[in-house]
Amino acid sequence: MWSRVKIKMKKILNQMGYEEKGRIVEIKTTDVRRKLMGMNIRTGKEVKMLAKQPLEGPVAIEVENAQTSLSQKMAKQIVVEV
């Protein structure tokens, strides 16, 4: 009998698809980590991709039922396990 095993993979936050969910596993730089902590975004939190704007525009995400947007520069520093 076959069992379904969900394979976890890591992505950079801005590479997530629309409505995709994942858990933050790493924030690469200290200065970005500090800014995000003030927004209650830190490792271990579940995040959901809501929207991505074209041409290096911001990404909209949801963390604990709160919606916010981040610059592409910040989003590229966040590693998510999906």
The alpha carbon dihedral of 35, 67, 13, 72 has a sign of negative
Per DSSP, what are the bridge partners of residue 69?
Answer: 60
Q: Which residue has the higher pLDDT, 75 or 5?
A: 75
The letter for the amino acid at 26 is E
Residue 5 has pLDDT above 80, yes or no: no
Give pLDDT, residue 53. Answer: 86
For the segment(s) 10-81, the CATH number from 1.10.10.10, 2.30.30.90, 3.30.365.10, 3.30.70.20 is 2.30.30.90
The domain segmentation of the chain, as residue ranges, is 10-81
Q: Give me the chain's average pLDDT, please.
A: 91
Q: What is the pTM of this model?
A: 0.86
Q: Report pLDDT digits (tens) over 23-43.
A: 999 999 999 999 999 899 999
